[in-house]
Each structure stands twice: as structure tokens, then as C-alpha cells.
């Protein structure tokens, strides 16, 4: 079997629904029910030959006697770390994860293991994410300060967008939240899965000029497009861990950069590695070398995997056109 394979394989275990991890065309897919729904929403009914849903904590025994179980990764709805157990040896493949609270998915569960395969999207000491609630407060303050301007928030359409909506509700933003058409299907899926997001409305094209004072969530790439210019005097915000880098914020035209990440920052990567108790660490997608170096400084065996085909979804969406969902 393969975890998050980038090419079609006979037996795929999928950690979560982001497009670089969950691809169409596998013979068989084992994933959480939510991840399977997300894949179907993106790729259509026939995205795999057959599928099998597995709940958090449930155990499936593979051919050869390896036990597989899924555990919450706290990254997006349905996201999981995968635990493999064989003759007492425990290996965990984290997928993408975060430790910070997120009202739209199950919280990260620490799983003790011998081998931990970690992501490293923000594996550099510069990436220390501030508490997300403070960033949301900046957005609400700005919307209240400039009631005649529309606030457009660029956010990745799976996970980040819905997390913003839920956090705006926690910050007592009671007005309708408007969304770009590219986000409607996945947002409806979250609501259908029982994530309360309040009054969410699709932006109708001829209504844009009337949305002064409102918050509109859209794919980051649309901030640079004509679509965004029809709003009254728009304030461009972008919600991403990359907003920690000023040059990145400028490049995306973010007047109001919001440092909100769905990946563990530098401190949480290190904390998690230590807490798993693993003596061997494999590092994948992101700043691999820096995290490997840090692990070695802690006396842990570590190596970079140098896998190709995984980008950071947020980074990709910045450069690429809107995903076709």
C-alpha cells in the first residue's frame, strides 16, 4: 500500500482531502468518511475503483498482518495521521497537521510511536504563528472601522476558508459571510457534516457593488483579478502562514495580511516530534533540511525523504488559477 501516492496505485491510504495528497485514479482508497466525501466532491463519484471508510481509532489489518488505524491530525475536516503497527513496532505518518485549535475539525491527537514521519511546511524558526483569534480580531476591527468598504479575504478553499468562517462566528461576527463560487460546494459539505458556520451566502455577480461593510471569502488568486474590483473600495486580506513573510504579503497585494496557518509552526513541529517519543524521524514536504538538522541536535536519528509531487496547497493556490471546484 501507499500513503498519499502522487501516481495511481492499487491500494492507497489517504491522510486528507488536499489535492496534492488526495488524487483520483487509485484502485482502492482507505480514508476517513469525510475525506472520501471531499474526494467525491472534487473528482466525482468514480474517483477510485473501490473505497473503504475508516473512523478515527478503528483498526484495519492489512495483508501481511500490519494493523492500520487513523488518528485526528487537526489540519482540515477528516484529516488523519496514520498509525502502522507490526510486532510491537509503531510508525506514524502525520500527513499535514497542526496543534492550534480549529473549530472545524477534530483536534490533533498525539500518538506515541517509534518512527514519526512529519511534514515540514513551516520548518524554519521564522515561522512562529501568532494565535489565530488575534488575527481574526484584526479583520473584524478593520471591517468595523471601514463600514463602507468590502473586505475580501483570500483563503484556500478546503479548510482555511471554513475555519475563517467558524472563527468569525466565535468573534461574534453576526452578519452574513459571503463566499466566492469556487468555495460553495466544500462549504456546503462542511455544514452538512455538522460544522456550524452561520449564514453563508454565495456572491451573485451583480450584487458585488452592494457589499460595502461585508466580509467576502475568496480564493487568493481572485484578489488580483477583475472579479475583485467590482466591490466597493475593497480591502484585500490574505489568510496564510506565509503572511509571516512580508515580501510574500506584498507580492499577493495583501493590504491586511493575516498570519493564520493550517500547518504546525516551527515550535509545534519540534514539540510534536519530542512528544511522540520516536527515536527516528523522517521529514517530508517543506523545509526538510532545517528540521532534520534540529532533530539531530536533539540526539534523534533523522532524514529527509526528498519526495516530489507535494507542494504546499496554499503556496500553490497563490500562484495557480482557482481550483476547479
Which backbone phi and psi does 45 adopt, to 5 degrees? -60, -35
CB of 268 to Zn ion, least distance (A): 15
CB of 159 to Zn ion, least distance (A): 7
Pick 85 or 96: Cβ nearer Zn ion: 96
Q: Residues 27-46 vs Zn ion: string with x where CB under 5 A?
A: --------------------
In whole angstroms, what is the distance from residue 1 CA to residue 47 CA? Answer: 17
58 grid coordinates? 478503528
Q: Please list every residue from 126 through 165 that binds Zn ion, using CB under 5 A.
A: none
In whole angstroms, what is the distance from residue 241 CA to residue 264 CA? Answer: 9
CB of 285 to Zn ion, least distance (A): 6
Which backbone phi and psi does 183 adopt, to 5 degrees? -105, -5
From 26-34, 88-96, 212-220, 265-273, give the range in contact with Zn ion by CB under 5 A: 88-96
Sheet of 48-53: strand order equals: 2-3, 11-13, 26-31, 48-53
In whole angstroms, what is the distance from residue 109 CA to residue 99 CA? Answer: 9
Pick 18 or 163: Cβ nearer Zn ion: 18
CB of 35 to Zn ion, least distance (A): 11
Q: How far is CA 316 from CA 167, 184, 206, 267, 323, in A?
A: 24, 20, 29, 24, 10
From 57-65, 92-100, 211-219, 267-275, give the range in contact with Zn ion by CB under 5 A: 92-100
Pick 18 or 129: Cβ nearer Zn ion: 18
CB of 75 to Zn ion, least distance (A): 6
Pick 73 or 211: Cβ nearer Zn ion: 73
Contact, 99 vs 81, CB < 8 A?
A: no
> Residue 85, interface with Zn ion (CB under 5 A)?
no
Q: Please list every residue from 95 through 114 that binds Zn ion, using CB under 5 A.
A: 96
CB of 245 to Zn ion, least distance (A): 18
User: Is residue 281 within a helix (H) or strand (E), and if so which, with residue range?
Assistant: strand 280-286
> Residue 18, interface with Zn ion (CB under 5 A)?
yes
Instruction: Give the number of residues in contact with Zn ion, rule: CB under 5 A.
Output: 2
Q: How far is CA 179 from CA 77, 166, 185, in A?
A: 19, 13, 11
What residues line the site for Zn ion (CB under 5 A)? 18, 96
Amino acid at each position: 500500500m501507499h500513503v498519499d501516492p502522487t501516481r495511481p496505485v492499487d491500494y492507497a491510504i489517504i491522510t486528507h482531502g488536499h489535492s496534492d495528497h488526495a488524487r483520483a485514479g487509485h484502485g482502492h482508497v482507505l480514508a476517513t468518511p469525510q475525506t472520501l466525501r471531499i474526494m467525491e466532491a472534487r473528482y466525482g463519484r468514480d474517483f477510485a475503483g473501490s473505497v473503504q471508510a475508516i473512523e478515527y481509532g478503528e483498526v484495519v489489518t492489512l495483508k501481511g498482518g500490519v494493523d492500520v488505524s487513523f488518528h485526528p491530525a487537526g489540519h482540515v475536516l477528516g484529516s488523519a495521521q496514520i498509525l502502522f503497527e507490526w510486532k510491537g513496532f509503531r510508525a506514524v505518518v502525520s500527513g499535514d497537521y497542526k496543534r492550534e485549535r480549529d473549530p472545524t475539525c477534530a483536534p490533533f491527537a498525539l500518538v506515541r510511536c517509534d518512527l514519526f514521519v512529519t511534514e515540514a511546511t513551516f520548518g524554519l524558526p521564522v515561522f512562529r504563528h501568532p494565535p489565530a483569534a488575534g488575527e481574526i480580531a484584526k479583520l473584524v476591527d478593520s471591517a468595523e472601522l471601514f463600514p463602507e468598504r468590502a473586505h475580501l479575504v483570500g483563503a484556500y478553499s478546503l479548510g482555511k476558508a471554513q475555519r475563517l468562517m467558524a472563527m468569525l462566528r466565535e468573534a461574534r461576527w453576526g452578519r452574513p459571510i459571503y463566499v466566492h463560487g469556487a468555495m460553495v460546494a466544500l462549504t456546503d459539505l462542511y455544514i452538512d457534516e455538522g460544522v456550524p458556520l452561520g449564514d453563508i451566502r454565495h456572491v451573485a455577480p451583480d450584487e458585488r457593488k452592494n457589499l460595502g461593510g461585508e466580509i467576502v471569502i475568496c480564493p487568493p488568486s481572485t484578489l488580483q483579478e477583475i472579479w475583485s474590483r467590482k466591490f466597493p473600495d475593497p480591502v484585500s486580506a490574505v489568510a496564510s502562514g506565509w503572511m509571516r513573510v512580508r515580501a510574500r504579503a506584498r507580492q499577493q497585494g495583501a493590504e491586511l495580511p493575516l498570519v493564520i496557518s493550517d500547518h504546525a509552526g516551527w515550535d509545534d513541529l519540534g514539540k510534536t516530534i519530542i512528544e511522540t517519543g520516536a527515536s527516528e524521524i523522517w521529514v517530508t514536504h517543506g523545509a526538510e533540511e532545517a528540521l532534520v538538522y534540529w532533530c539531530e541536535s536533539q540526539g534523534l536519528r533523522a532524514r529527509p525523504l526528498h519526495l516530489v509531487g507535494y507542494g504546499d496547497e496554499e503556496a500553490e493556490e497563490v500562484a495557480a488559477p482557482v481550483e476547479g471546484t
